Amino acid sequence: MRGRQAVLLEPGRLELREVEFEPGPGELILKIDLAMTCGTDLKTYRRGHPKLPMPTPLGHEFTGTVAALGAGVTRFREGDEVLAAPSAPCAECPPCRRGLENLCENINGRTMAWGAFADYLRIPAHVVARNVYPRPRGLDLRHAALLEPLSCVVAGVERLDLIGKDRVMVMGAGPIGLLYVSLLKRRGVPEVIVLGKREERLAAARTLGADQVWDLAQLDDPDAFIREQVPEGLCTVVECVGRPEAWSQAMRLVRKGGEVLFYGGCAKGAEVPLDTHRVHYDALTLKGAFHFTPSDVRIALDLIVRRELPLDVLVSDVVPLARVQEAIDRLLNGQAIKIGIGGPDPAAPTAPTAPTAPRGVSP
């Protein structure tokens, strides 16, 4: 089948192209019901991505409807509505064999379902086998399309030792920081503090349950302000900014015996000084977190399906695919948190066009 696909020709140059979608053995073609923008897409648009040679399609957060099945697919039928993560581990490389599936060496642009800013998306067989799930009727598409980022954040929260931790600070109020806020509150952390910027994001942090929200734009000396507000210090700091200054600040502000989770990826080669005295004598725990495993996806799926988190506050707007460029421009100008891509096209007929295949009927 043919459909449109947003293709990044070079940094800053996006084009909607007509392409052919054909499922290989074990694969699915999904009609995209809704895709979601992500910081990774924006970074790639701005400066390219080492694992995505140009020209490359964009978009990896999505929910869709099965439009075609490859040979051998038995778990799904045409017309099934699904949620999915865009990647899955290979189960064969050394990290996979050690149980570190989030660090699979074979996850890259070629092996992922990449290109959700499109009418259709091909889902590789190993992803179909492990990370595609039925979408319950009536589930808000904006929630369903957030399975991937929520899986990443579930993986990060699983790495934290939250037992007895009464005060956690999340640095950064972007989509990932906000997802951390909602999960940490759901895990019962008594006080979650957010340090971030931009009113829309800070308001979303409050909606998601943040107990304190500090606007960096209002603070001349954030370190001094935070020390004054919480003289006893922060048990845990989750860094979701991805800049070396933020990594350093996280290590300065965490209290004795505390834990820092570095989630925000800095530019390649970035280094930060380490206060060895603090790490040793204050017994700090410093951790990284990256990507997710299929078991994190199942936890995230459960949270979405049970509608436990008000995730739609992360989605500032939904626009049709034809306006994907405008969505990216708005995000680059800091005018939204996330934007859904794939709303009804104004030019397209608005009548119910989806063929409603009878469900639960054997072929």
Chain contacts with Zn ion (rule: CB under 5 A)? 38, 89-90, 93, 96, 104, 106, 149
Residue 180 Cβ vs Zn ion, minimum distance, rounded to whole Å: 14
Q: Which amino acid is at 84?
A: A
Judged by beta carbon, residue 69 or residue 319, the one nearer Zn ion is 319
The helix (H) or strand (E) run that includes residue 330 is: helix 324-332
Judged by beta carbon, residue 14 or residue 150, the one nearer Zn ion is 150
Residue 101 Cβ vs Zn ion, minimum distance, rounded to whole Å: 7
Residue 36 Cβ vs Zn ion, minimum distance, rounded to whole Å: 8
Residue 205 Cβ vs Zn ion, minimum distance, rounded to whole Å: 19
SS3 118: strand
Judged by beta carbon, residue 257 or residue 288, the one nearer Zn ion is 288
Residue 175 Cβ vs Zn ion, minimum distance, rounded to whole Å: 8
Judged by beta carbon, residue 176 or residue 184, the one nearer Zn ion is 176
Cα distances (Å, whole numbers) of residue 126 to 25, 33, 88, 290, 296:
10, 22, 6, 20, 17
Pairing of strands 315-319, 338-341: parallel
Instruction: Classify residue 85 by burial, with Cβ atoms within 10 Å: 0-12, 13-18, 19+.
Output: buried
Judged by beta carbon, residue 284 or residue 311, the one nearer Zn ion is 311
Judged by beta carbon, residue 258 or residue 264, the one nearer Zn ion is 264
Judged by beta carbon, residue 106 or residue 295, the one nearer Zn ion is 106
**Residue 215 CB partners (closer than 8 Å, separation 6+):** 196, 197, 199, 202
Residue located via tokens 């909607």: 16
Residue 80 Cβ vs Zn ion, minimum distance, rounded to whole Å: 23
Pairing of strands 56-57, 2-10: antiparallel
Question: How far is residue 146's CA from residue 139's CA, in Å, rounded to a whole number?
Answer: 12
**Residue 73 CB partners (closer than 8 Å, separation 6+):** 23, 26, 27, 28, 128
Residue 195 Cβ vs Zn ion, minimum distance, rounded to whole Å: 22
